[in-house]
Amino acid sequence: MIEKNVSLKPYNTFGLSAQAKLMARVVDVPSLQSVLSDASLVNEERFILGGGSNILLTKDVDALVIKNEIDGIALVEETSDSFFVKSGAGVVWHNLVLHCIEKGYAGIENLSLIPGNVGAAPMQNIGAYGVELKDVFSSLEAVDIASGKIHHFDSNACEFGYRESVFKRKLRGEFVITAVTLRLDKTPKLNTTYGAIEQELERLNISSPTLETVSQAVINIRQSKLPNPKVLGNSGSFFKNPVVETAKYEELKKKSANIPGYPAGDKTKLAAGWLIEQCGWKGKVVGNTGSHAQQALVLVNYGNATGVEIFELSEQIMYSVYNTFGVQLEKEVNVY
Ligand code: EPU
């Protein structure tokens, strides 16, 4: 069924008001294919919506919004050391994490509580606390919007990078991801090296961590720093952490000795949150929006913000970081 003039406010984690001209909810591959081939809709622009956690809506969506509600989690293969778990793209990412922890499938516990749906996870190679989706990725299924045919992508074909994949670059707008298969470990290789996790486990008095307790530590850290989108609209990190030439980092260090920098190949990854904080934006409220008081990298909607207002704030922040440090920030969210 095609719905008309649908409010997108409940479907974007910024909680922004925008109307979709048309909306189709798809629950499986055949229903998606039938929407894509519907003769009465072929002239409509298509807009694929997952969990709406990485989108800044600056205007109404004059298009056919295809809301991906493809559900289902299944163990599809088992080897001596791995579980292969296939999930529908419309599954809430954190529900997949909880399911895997309960079943003892290891590898995504550090990715607990990341907002959004499974389909968006490979799109931007989600990552947190030393783990990225690509570390556990096996393959995905996606439907070609033009032909309606199913394609399979392995890790190479996805061209994963830091918050990047082929679906954000050369194949942008061409495919709808319908299912993702992860390769998870039977014997957990817990990754607690990220400073904050170690500290949190210590605070919880846990000396032999498990999948559950690492997940709980990550949840506690996230809840202490990142606003809950159900309470305060946001889309997680608004910007990417910029990767600069190491010579540039050394030059910045001469002026600001304590500037954080992490090796990224032969380059250096800077902390965007630190740069934004140094420019005085952290916790600053500008009209209905602002940079969050606990994590400068997160822009929030205090209730009545428009997408344009948040966009303008982001441009001002980018301008001031560039002016102060000569570093160009890049948005992580998709602006529509
Ligand atoms: N920092 C500041 N001020 C701030 C925020 C951060 O000085 O307001 C400094 C911290 O002190 C620390 C460094 O920046 O030295 C890194 O901070 P943090 O560990 O909080 O992580 P992040 O680099 O700001 C990234 C991801 C997050 C992910 C965390 C944890 C990106 C763009 N963001 O943030 O991902 O949860 O690491 O792994 O890579 C997201 O993508 O939406 C997201 C939340």
- Residues 6 or more apart whose Cβ sits within 8 Å of residue 288: 301, 302, 303, 304, 305, 306, 309
Is residue 111 scored above 90 in pLDDT?
Answer: yes
The CATH code of domain 2-68 reads 3.30.43.10
From the candidates 112, 237, 291, 314, give the one annotated as an active-site residue. 237
How confident is residue 23, by pLDDT bands cut at 50, 70 and 90? very high
Q: Which residues contact 157 (CB under 8 A, 6 or more apart)?
A: 166
Say what the pLDDT of residue 194 is. Answer: 87
Tell me, yes or no, if 183 is annotated catalytic: no
Please give the pLDDT value at position 195: 80
Report which ligand 1 atom has the smallest distance to the Cα of 296. Answer: 8
* Closest Cα to atom 5 of ligand 1: 273
Query: What CATH architecture applies to the domain 233-335?
Result: Alpha-Beta Complex (3.90)
Q: Is the pLDDT of residue 256 over 90?
A: yes
Nearest ligand 1 atom, CA 226: 44
Which of 69, 109, 141, 332 is labelled catalytic? 332
Identify whether 82 is a catalytic site residue.
Answer: no
**CATH classification number, 73-185, choose in 3.40.50.300, 3.30.465.10, 3.40.50.1370, 3.60.15.10:** 3.30.465.10
Tell me, in angstroms, the distance from the centre of ligand 1 to residue 239's CA.
Answer: 10
pLDDT of residue 61: 98
pLDDT in tens, 38-54: 999 999 999 999 999 99
Please give the pLDDT value at position 106. 98
Q: Cα 333 to chain center, whole Å? A: 8
What percentage of the chain carries pLDDT values higher than 90? 99
Has 237 been annotated as catalytic?
A: yes
Pocket of ligand 1, candidates 163, 237, 318: which has the most ligand atoms within 8 Å of its Cβ, to mutate?
A: 237
- Mean pLDDT computed over 76-100: 98
What is the domain partition of the chain in residue ranges?
2-68, 73-185, 233-335
Write down the catalytic residue from 69, 87, 163, 215. Answer: 163
Q: Could you read off the pLDDT of 152-185 as tens digits, one per residue? A: 999 999 999 999 999 999 999 999 999 999 999 9
Please give the share of the chain, as a percent, with pLDDT higher than 70: 100
Residue nearest to ligand 1 atom 23, measured at CA: 271
* Best of 274, 299, 318, 325 for a ligand 1 pocket test (most atoms within 8 Å of beta carbon): 274
Mean pLDDT for 232-250 is: 97
Ligand 1 atom having least distance to the Cα of 162: 39
